Amino acid sequence: MSAMKNSVFSQKIYSFLLAAYRWYLQTPERSLDEAYNAALKIQEIEGKHFNGNKIDIDSAMYSNSVMDYFESDLKKLLKTARMRLTELKASRWFLDEENQKAAQKVGIEHPSASLVLEKLNFIDQVISKYTTSSDQITSKALIVKPTNQPVNSVISDDKSLLVNTPPLPPKLSTKDSDKKPNPNRKVDTTGILPRSILSTITRLQVELDPNSEQEVIQSFRQTQRRTIISIRFILLLIIVPLLTHQIAKAFVVGPLVERFRGSEQMQIFINSEMEEEALAELERFEEKLKFENLITKAPPLLPERLEIEMSNKAIELAEEFRHESSNAIKNVFADIFSVGAFISLLLVSKSSIAVLKDFVDNIVYGLSDSAKAFIIILFTDIFVGFHSPHGWEVLLEGVSRHWGLPANRDFIFLFIATFPVILDTIFKYWIFRFLNRISPSAVATYRNMNE
């Protein structure tokens, strides 16, 4: 009987290994088919909704919501096609002639070379329209330069974003442009006519240009999409880690911690500071009972009654601090999940980071000199100012309590004595090295306000 069971078990193992081996041998064909199907779906969307043209975010045929829907499907299909092509290349590198002969023995027939080349050619024709940048689908034409930056400056790591950005309509002269003229511009060069007259002529040319209205509308749409993507990404950076922390704490870390700390023999206090706090609370409770007995002119509190009240209070405090200790342990692991979610979000959102960077740059460069100086003074006074040590002390004590660690006064004082000084040095270097070159008037305003 046992021999029959072993035989059946061996046959099951053999069939499972054979199925896994067949799946391994069919990897190139399966990867090619999935990439080909993804390309077919992209071509189907182009044919049905874009008249056979490229799925372009600048298309005026649909609204922003509809384009977001098409872009989401396009990103998924492009990702599938590229991943499967990579898988096809890797599998063909591993599968040699012996594997191909083994595939023929087990009944696996590979498609002909002409069919494979035909499918690959079709996939390349479809994907080549969108291979200018891996993240250009969501960030194309969203990178708008600040008005006081050089034209040839690189805003993001992907230079193709700048190359494919449609030109913006000429703008009127601003304070920064008047203070820092560009020698390459015709209106800024020294000539026969005054500069203001040439600027007026240029402005009239822009206003009389029949294409200026379309360029302004296109620029507004780009700015609108950039703002929406930036605000949405900021909300994701805030909401996703918080939700991850709460979900991990409630459904993953919480049950495990409660399981290991559920018994009564487990340690109530995870550090000496909690024990001292509980003892002080118990002493205050005893003094409160005696004080209330004296002011109400009640009969003397009997030792038995006092002991019962103290025992009940001690049990209540033990349960409270046991829950606080468990909560601190949960916070440690939940914070790890939260940080992992935050880092993952940053890694998969490179295009959104580039758009957010440009959005912040435009906001900062759009501020007046006094506003820039006000923000710099506000941040420096909060983090490195005269009253900042008290804020750092409260923050460090809160973090220690959040993780259930004892508040080490020596470490807190050492941190306060060193970190704000380093931060202040970085602020001053940034003002001297970068802000002084970008906006000297803001630095002068900052110095006047700070004095």
Nearest to 122 by CA among 50, 45, 40, 29: 40
| Per-residue pLDDT at 332 | 92
Contact 148, 176 (CB under 8 A): yes
Contact 96, 8 (CB under 8 A): no
E-strand stretches of 307-363 = none
Letter string b/e over residues 290-312, b meaning 16 or more CB atoms within 10 A of that residue's CB: eeeeeeeeeeeeeeeeeeeeeee
| Per-residue pLDDT at 238 | 94
At 167, list the tokens: 């030109």
Please give the single-letter amino acid code of residue 255: P
Rounded Cα gap, residues 194 and 400, in angstroms = 66
What's the first-to-final CA gap in the chain, in angstroms? 96
| Per-residue pLDDT at 99 | 54
Global pTM reads 0.53
Angle at 316 between CA 313 and CA 320, to 5 degrees: 135
- Tell me which residues of the chain have a pLDDT lower than 70: 1-12, 14, 16-18, 21-25, 57-61, 93-111, 132-196, 198, 206-207, 209-210, 262-266
Contact 128, 54 (CB under 8 A): no
Which residue has tokens 């087990």? Answer: 106
Angle subtended by helix axes 409-430 and 388-402, to nearest 10: 130
Angle at 232 between CA 221 and CA 162, to 5 degrees: 50
| Per-residue pLDDT at 14 | 63
| Per-residue pLDDT at 132 | 55
Nearest to 134 by CA among 81, 205, 185, 91: 81
Which residue has tokens 């004296």? Answer: 294
Contact 78, 42 (CB under 8 A): yes
202-257 residue pLDDT tens: 777 766 766 777 777 888 888 888 899 999 999 999 999 999 999 999 998 888 88
Nearest to 166 by CA among 145, 150, 147: 145
